[in-house]
Structure 1
Amino acid sequence: MFKIELDPTELQQYISKAVEDAFSKIDLSIKDDSKKYPALMDKKELMEFLRVGPTKASELLNRADFPVIREFGHPRIPLHSLMIWIDEHTEWIKDNAVAYHRQKEGIV
C-alpha cells in the first residue's frame, strides 16, 4: 500500500496554493454585478438591466403595479423594489417555491 506523510505546515501550504490557484481562475467581476446599477435607475438603465427596448420599458413604467417614483421629474425605479417586483411576478417561483414564499411572509 502507498503511504504519504506530510507535516501540518506542509499540508497547509499545499491547500493554500490550491485555493489561490482556484481563485485566480475565477472572474470576480461577475460576482459583484450589483454595483453596476444605481439604487435609483432611470429608463435607460432599466432598459439595459432588463434587456428590453423603449416600448417595453414604457409599458412597464405605466403599469399600476410597477415600482416607479415620479417625484424627481423623470421616472426613477428603485433597484431593490424592482427585484422584489420581479420575484413576485415570476410564475415559476409562485408555482414551485411555496416554502420560500411562506418563509418570506413569516409563515413557517
Structure 2
Amino acid sequence: MFKLEIDPQQLQQLITEAVEKALERNSFSNVNQPTLFDKKQLMGFLGIGSTKASELLNREDFPVIREFGHPRVPLHALMIWIDEHTEWVRANAKGYWEHKGSIA
C-alpha cells in the first residue's frame, strides 16, 4: 500500500500559489475594467456594433443607469444579466437564482 504524507503548511503554500496563478490569468481579476460602461466601452467589451449596443440599451430588462446624462451599464449588473440570459443557464440551472438570492 502506498502512503503519502504532506506537510499542511506546504500544502497551503501550493494551494495559494495555484490560486494566485489562476487569478493572474483571469482577465476579470485585473482592475482595468471600468465599473460603469458607456456605450462605446460596452461595444468594445461585448465585441458588438453600435446598432446592437443601442438595441441592448433600449431593452427594458437591460441594466442601464440613465441618471448620468448618458446611459451607463454597471459591470456587475451586466455580468448578472448575461448569466440570466444565457440559454445554457436557463436550461440547466433551474432555480439557481432563487436559491442564490438577488445580487443586484
Pairwise same-fold verdict (TM > 0.5) = yes
Rounded to whole Å, the distance in 2 between the matches of 1:78 and 1:28 is 22
Deviations 1:35-86 (A, max 9, x none): 2221111111111111101110011001111110111111100111111111
1:77-96 equivalences in 2 (<5 Å): 77-96=73-92
Are 1:104 and 2:100 matched, yes or no? yes
**Where in structure 1 are there 5+ consecutive unaligned residues?**
1-10
Matched AA of 2:68: F
Deviations 1:84-105 (A, max 9, x none): 1111111110111125334214
Rounded to whole Å, the distance in 2 between the matches of 1:104 and 1:28 is 24
- Residue 45 of structure 1 aligns with which residue? 41
Rounded to whole Å, the distance in 2 between the matches of 1:88 and 1:27 is 25
Deviations 1:13-42 (A, max 9, x none): xx8xxx6xx97xx68643243522211111
Percent of matched pairs sharing the same residue: 59
Are 1:31 and 2:44 matched, yes or no? no
Matched AA of 1:42: D
Aligned residues: 98
Say which one has the larger Rg: 1
Specify which of 37, 61, 66 is matched with residue 62 of structure 2: 66
Matched AA of 1:36: N
